[in-house]
Structure 1
Amino acid sequence: MKDRTAEYFAGPARQRACLLPRGFSATVRLDLGRPGRTAHWYLTLNEGDIFCEASSREADCVISADGDVFDRLVAGGDPTTATLRNEITYSGPPITMIYFERLLPGPPGSHGPARVTDGDGEERGR
């Protein structure tokens, strides 16, 4: 059986690495519960690049979840909702988790953030 999470971070996620802030680097370990085992993926995030390998080394941030939950996230599920439901947990600097979430895809069919305008047509927010 293929590991959708590993495939995502070895391929499509690399295209999203440009969303990491300039000068940001961190390591993230994913501990994913799979039938009969725990899969460990070690991600090195550097400005503009991601490297993924199977490893249980220490990392700046450790994210734990059921493998099926994380497969759902790499298919466009909402990581904030999963965290609030306690489907995923993490330890480490919260900013690392926030930047890590930028690497995950949006919902299927999304095309980036929508611009919000006020009543005069002026853009607000980000």
Structure 2
Amino acid sequence: MSDPTANFFEAIGRRGHIRLLEEATGTVRFDLEHDHEIDRWYLVIEHGDVRVSREEGGADCVVRISRATFDRIVTGRSHIYAAWVRNEMRTEGDVRLARFVQRLMPGPAGAHHPRDFARGRRRPA
């Protein structure tokens, strides 16, 4: 069975440097709640260089969310901002880091980048 959360974090870890996070520095801990347990994932960000860890430690920002909701977000079936507004996700500490992490989340299935959409509209028919 596929694990969307593990796949998401492993893919981020393989990327190493992420341009979208070059203005960010800090550690984000994700507390993913399920079956009366908590899975913890850490993102250590240093000016775009990203390392993923499962080691326990302090964090500048803590994101608490159910594992099921996080799975929906990382598969594009839900949006992180909507979960935040519905109070399905809670953050503590440097919320700015959570906003940076939002940039890593996939869009809905079948979504296109606005520039790609605009380029397609300019092509002659």
TM-score range, shorter chain: 0.7 to 0.9
Aligned-partner Cα distance in 2 for 1:101–1:44: 15
Residues 37-116 of structure 1: matches in 2 within 5 Å? 37-76=37-76, 77-113=78-114
| Stretches of structure 1 lacking an aligned partner (at least 5 in a row) | 116-126
Q: Deviations over 1:60-111 (max 9, x none)?
A: 1000011010111111221111011111100112211111101111111222
Specify whether residues 64 and 42 from structure 1 end up closer, same or farther in structure 2 by C-alpha distance, changes over 3 A only.
same
TM-score (normalizing by structure 2): 0.78
Asked whether the 8 Å contact 2:33–2:39 carries over to 1, the reply is yes
Asked whether the 8 Å contact 1:30–1:40 carries over to 2, the reply is yes
Asked whether the 8 Å contact 1:10–1:51 carries over to 2, the reply is no
Aligned-partner Cα distance in 1 for 2:22–2:48: 9
| Stretches of structure 2 lacking an aligned partner (at least 5 in a row) | 117-125
TM-score (normalizing by structure 1): 0.77
Specify whether residues 55 and 16 from structure 1 end up closer, same or farther in structure 2 by C-alpha distance, changes over 3 A only.
same
> What displacement does 1:49 show?
2.9
Aligned-partner Cα distance in 1 for 2:87–2:59: 21
Equivalent residue letter for 2:98: M
The corresponding residue for 2:7 is: 7
Aligned-partner Cα distance in 2 for 1:109–1:9: 22
> What displacement does 1:17 show?
2.1
Specify whether residues 36 and 94 from structure 1 end up closer, same or farther in structure 2 by C-alpha distance, changes over 3 A only.
closer
CA RMSD of aligned residues (A): 2.3
> What displacement does 1:50 show?
2.0
Runs of 4 or more, structure 1, over 4 Å off, are none
Query: What is the percent sequence identity of the aligned residues?
Result: 35
**What number of residue pairs does the alignment pair up?**
114
